[in-house]
Structure 1
Amino acid sequence: MRVSSPVDLRLYGLLDVGVCGGDGGRLARMAAEAAAGGCTLLQYREKDIADARAALERIRAIRAALGGRVPLLVNDRVDLALAAGAEGVHLGQSDMHPADARGLLGASAIIGLTLKNAAQADELYRLPVDYACIGGVFATGSKTNPDPPVGLDGLARIVFRGRLARGADFPLGAIAGIDSSNAAAVIAAGADGIAVISALFGAEAVEGRARDLRARVDAALAERGGAR
């Protein structure tokens, strides 16, 4: 299993084409603003890609705008991550197995995984992933989710099982329905960071929104004694 420095999940921005639109230039500007405001990780997210070439152009534009300041991952699509030279991928439970993705992307790539329940967290011990995101924590309009939200109590239980499987330093984030009103509570429940879409990219002033969310996360981590 790959052992690496912990991925910084404090503020994980998801550039969702369904929320942000498909204009590559606008996506690139939003990514740059998010990085300037304190995002620590970014992801390109486009469900049901109909035009892989256009998606690849958008990913390349985002990566160029970031200039290496913040790692860029691609949701689901290992082939697009490879072609764009992205830093890694984020995989769902029904996507390519992490071991296969690792074989294609290499030891230096960042590979993340979605966890929906404690049983999936138990399996982390045998998976070559660098972090996991737990969710959905709250209800969200950004994604159709057949599973009910796990809530803060469910998040805490899954975090506990994930720590047992991979150790105290393994990064575990939280996703779905998280914004400035509940970010601190999510961190208090055990998450190392928050993954956000609408709370960051749902309106203008992305840099200011990022600064606010990052400050809330950092303060909650400090209060919990979990600042990395």
Structure 2
Amino acid sequence: MLRYAITSRALYPGSEQEKQAALLREASRWIADGIDFIQLREKDLPAATLANLARNLLENIALTASPTRLLINSRPDIALATGAHGVHLTASPDELSPAQIRDLFHSAGRPKPLITLSCHSLAEVQRARREQVDAIVFAPVFEKPLADGQKLPGQGLDQLRAACIAAAPIPIFALGGVTIENASECLEAGAAGVAGIRLFHRS
């Protein structure tokens, strides 16, 4: 089972510096464990701070010779500046396309980036397949509680299964309400692995 951890320093108490330090400690544990992907998703941080976090994680990956790959959420500029392995994109029409990001990396003389893409419908999955992304994060699979006490309904395992068929041979990560207990159901539906925030954060 492939594992795709998404960062959220908001899960930790304390000052901004303490939150970042806690996040780096948690990510170091993932790296030591050989987790497949880490998506650095601290969207509200200034570019310089985000780049500093990325460099810390990449240094840790190199020092431990870990197979972990670091993806920067929606910031190909920071991925290029830091030497991250790739970029995670949303399905927003405002995002650069996978082809445009590959062109950016090629123009900079950098290796072809890994590109993962969030999808929430079969139409988005089919588009991602045409764009030949490296992996798709499909969500939400299960019902998910929101911060305001509401619940986001899940699309269910049948929809996940349909998404995996539509995406093939591109691997899909199941996201949204995934737990240790239901992860095997996602694999049985055809997912290559699971993605999550709270799923991987010990807090």
Band the TM-score falls in, shorter-chain normalisation:
0.7 to 0.9
Q: How does 1:82-97 map to 2 (within 5 A)?
A: 82-94=80-92, 95-97=95-97
For the 8 Å contact 2:146–2:152, the answer to whether it is kept is no
Provide TM-score, normalisation by structure 1: 0.74
Q: Tell me the residue number matched to 1:130.
A: 134
Gapped runs of 5+ residues in structure 1? 1-8, 204-228
Q: Secondary structure at the match of 1:198?
A: coil
Q: Which moved more, 1:65-74 or 1:87-96?
A: 65-74
Instruction: Write out per-residue CA displacement over residues 132-187 of structure 1, whole angstroms, 9 at most, x where no aligned residue.
Output: 11111123357899974211111111111112xxx3xx221111111111111111
2:9 aligned residue (11, 17, 21): 17
Task: Return the offset for 1:61.
Answer: 1.2
Looking at structure 2, the residues matched to 180 and 159 of structure 1 have their Cα atoms a distance apart, in angstroms, of 20
Aligned-partner SS, 2:190: coil
Residues 1:118 and 2:119 are matched in the alignment:
no
Percent of aligned positions with the same letter in both sequences?
29
Q: What does residue 211 of structure 1 align with?
A: none
Counterpart secondary structure, 2:141: coil
Task: Determine the C-alpha separation between the residues in 2 that align with 1:161 and 1:87.
Answer: 26
- Where does structure 2 lack aligned partners over 5 or more consecutive residues? none
Amino acid of the structure 2 residue aligned with 1:89: V
Query: Secondary structure at 1:158's aligned position in 2?
Result: helix
Q: Is the 8 A contact 1:42 1:73 kept in 2?
A: yes
Where does residue 159 of structure 1 map in the other structure?
A: 164
What is the TM-score when the length of structure 2 is the normalising length? 0.82
- Per-residue CA deviations over 1:80-105 (Å, capped at 9, x if unaligned) read 11111100011001122111111112
Question: 1:120-199 alignment to 2 at 5 Å?
Answer: 120-141=124-145, 148-163=153-168, 167=169, 170-199=170-199
Flag as ranges the 4+ runs of structure 1 deviating above 6 A: 142-147
Structure that is richer in helix per residue: 1
Residue 33 (structure 2) pairs with residue 37 (structure 1): yes
